[in-house]
């Protein structure tokens, strides 16, 4: 009897192991799919909840529909009115061009300046009070300064965007360069590497993953400052389209312009995130190990 029970138990255990072996690949694939796409699922749920709150606030008259159009009205205006009529298309490119030009200038100045300041401790100590002062200045307070130096043309708007985008890139780059582990630098020196080699092959690759969050934040700042900059005498752009719609009391068109501006920002952030994953993919392998 004992032998029969032992034989039966062994058979059950074997079946369980075979079952586990059969289900393990599926379970691994499910976990891999979840790790890859769960952020999109959660993002969709969050967006749906936001739209529901927007609709609920209008349906229950918590907010006046005259001032906050219902989401279905805004989407209908965007899909059937604003985009097909083509009124907004000529306004997109000027805003996009100003934002990208200002962001490129901020990238060049922020990364180069952050590398220099982060590489020399004494330089950071000398410049710390000056940088702290200018970093805390409101961009609105500096509008008259930009107008005096650059006039009311395109240069002042691009300069405003570059100023707003500069600080996240500069601060992240400085912190990233300073935060490179000394053991990596000392190991390279022990192997006989020179300063230029260490900087190009040790410091920059180690700091690169921590620079990208500042770049993505700077892109958001660029298009935040862009709308305010376009109010300074611009004749075209999404900021002008939004303000003109508000002045004509075309509230759904105003919100449609805001949605378009937000979608442009989301698209740019997705592009930068893809570039970040492409150039920092090696870090994911090190982290997983």
Q: Quick check: 168 pLDDT over 80?
A: yes
Which domain CATH number covers 122? 1.10.3720.10
What average pLDDT score do residues 55-69 get?
Answer: 83
Which of the four pLDDT bands, split at 50, 70 and 90, describes residue 101? very high
Any idea which of 32-36, 75-79, 192-196 has the lowest mean pLDDT? 32-36
Domain count, the chain: 1
Contact yes or no for 223/233 (Cβ under 8 A): no
pLDDT at 216 over 60: yes
Residue 114: C-alpha distances to residues 78, 128, 168, 194 (Å): 41, 12, 10, 21
> Given pLDDT bands bounded at 50, 70 and 90, which one contains residue 27?
low
- Asked if 149 and 209 count as a contact pair (C-beta separation under 8 A), the reply is no
| Phi-psi region at 153: left, alpha or beta (left = phi > 0; alpha = psi -120 to 50) | beta
Q: Is residue 21 part of a domain?
A: no
Buried b (16+ CB within 10 A) or exposed e, 183-211: eebeebeeeebeeeebbeebbbebbbebb
Q: 58 near 46, Cβ under 8 Å?
A: no
pLDDT band for position 14 (cuts 50, 70, 90): very low
In a domain, 173, yes or no: yes
pLDDT tens for each residue of 235-287: 888 888 888 888 888 888 888 888 888 888 889 988 888 888 877 765 555 44
Q: Is residue 249 part of a domain?
A: yes
Q: How confident is the model at residue 31 (pLDDT cuts 50, 70, 90)?
A: low
What confidence tier does 23 reach under pLDDT thresholds 50, 70, 90? very low
Tell me what pLDDT residue 32 has. Answer: 62
Using CB atoms within 10 A of its CB, is residue 63 exposed (0-12), middle (13-18) or buried (19+)? middle
CA distances from 68 to 8, 50, 60, 85, 98 (A): 70, 14, 13, 23, 29
Contacts of 123 (CB under 8 A, 6+ apart): 116, 117
Four-point Cα dihedral 177, 183, 187, 190, nearest 10? 100
Considering the domain boundaries, does residue 51 fall inside one?
Answer: no
Q: Considering only 26-35, 100-109, 127-136, 262-271, which range has the smallest mean pLDDT?
A: 26-35
pLDDT at residue 99 tops 60: yes
State the Cα–Cα distance between residues 253 and 244, nearest whole angstrom.
Answer: 10
Whether 130 is covered by a domain: the verdict is yes
Q: 152 φ, ψ to 5°?
A: -100, 10
Q: What is the dihedral of CA 42, 43, 48, 49, to 10 degrees?
A: 70
The pLDDT value given to residue 161: 92
Question: Quick check: 6 pLDDT over 60?
Answer: no
As a whole number of angstroms, the distance between CA 44 and CA 35 comes to 15
State which residues form the domain around 82: 71-288
3-state secondary structure of 121: helix
Number of helices and strands (H, E) in the chain?
13, 0
Residue by residue, DSSP assigns 168-231 as HHHHHHHHHHHTS-HHHHHHHHHTT--HHHHIIIIIHHHHHHHHHHHHHHHHHHHHHHHHHHHT
Of the candidate ranges 67-81, 184-198, 222-236, the one whose mean pLDDT is the lowest = 184-198
- Coil, strand or helix: which one is 236? coil
Q: Which residue has the higher pLDDT, 62 or 107?
A: 107
Place 164 in a pLDDT band, splitting at 50, 70 and 90.
Answer: very high
Task: Give residues with Cβ within 8 angstroms of 260, minimum separation 6.
Answer: 78, 82, 88, 92, 238
**pLDDT value of position 288:** 44
Instruction: Please indicate, yes or no, if residue 197 is contained in any of the structural domains.
Output: yes
Instruction: Tell whether 86 is covered by a domain.
Output: yes
Inside any domain, residue 118:
yes
Mean pLDDT over 89-116 rounds to 90
Check residue 102 and give its pLDDT. 92
Kindly indicate the confidence band of residue 162, based on its pLDDT and cuts at 50, 70 and 90: very high
pLDDT in tens, 112-153: 998 888 888 888 888 888 888 988 888 888 888 888 888 888
Q: Tell me: the pLDDT tens digits for 183-205? A: 777 777 777 777 777 777 777 77
């Amino acid at each position: 009897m004992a032998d029969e029970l032992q034989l039966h138990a062994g058979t059950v255990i074997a079946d369980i192991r075979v079952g586990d072996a059969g289900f393990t690949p599926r379970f691994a694939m499910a976990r891999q799919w979840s790790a890859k796409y769960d952020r999109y699922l959660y993002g969709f749920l969050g967006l749906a909840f936001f739209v529901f709150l927007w609709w609920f606030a209008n349906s229950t008259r918590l907010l006046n529909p005259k001032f906050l159009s219902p989401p279905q009205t805004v989407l209908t205006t965007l899909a059937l009115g604003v985009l097909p009529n083509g009124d907004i298309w000529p306004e997109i490119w000027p805003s996009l061009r100003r934002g990208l030009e200002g962001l490129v200038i901020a990238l060049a100045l922020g990364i180069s300046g952050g590398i220099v300041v982060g590489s020399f401790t004494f330089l950071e100590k000398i410049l710390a009070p000056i940088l702290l002062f200018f970093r805390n200045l409101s961009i609105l307070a500096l509008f008259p300064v930009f107008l005096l130096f650059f006039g009311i043309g395109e240069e002042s708007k691009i300069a405003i965007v570059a100023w707003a985008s500069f600080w996240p890139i500069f601060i992240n780059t400085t912190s990233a360069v300073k935060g490179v582990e000394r053991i990596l630098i000392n190991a390279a020196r022990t192997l006989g590497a020179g300063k230029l080699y260490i900087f190009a092959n040790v410091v920059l690759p180690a700091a690169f993953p921590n620079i990208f969050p500042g770049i993505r934040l700077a892109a958001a700042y660029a298009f935040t400052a862009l709308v305010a900059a376009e109010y300074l005498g611009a004749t075209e752009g999404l900021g002008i389209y939004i303000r003109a719609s508000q002045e004509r009391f075309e509230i759904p068109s105003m919100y449609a312009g805001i949605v378009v501006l937000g979608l442009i920002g989301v698209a740019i952030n997705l592009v930068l995130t893809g570039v970040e994953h492409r150039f920092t993919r090696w870090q994911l392998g090190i982290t997983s190990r």
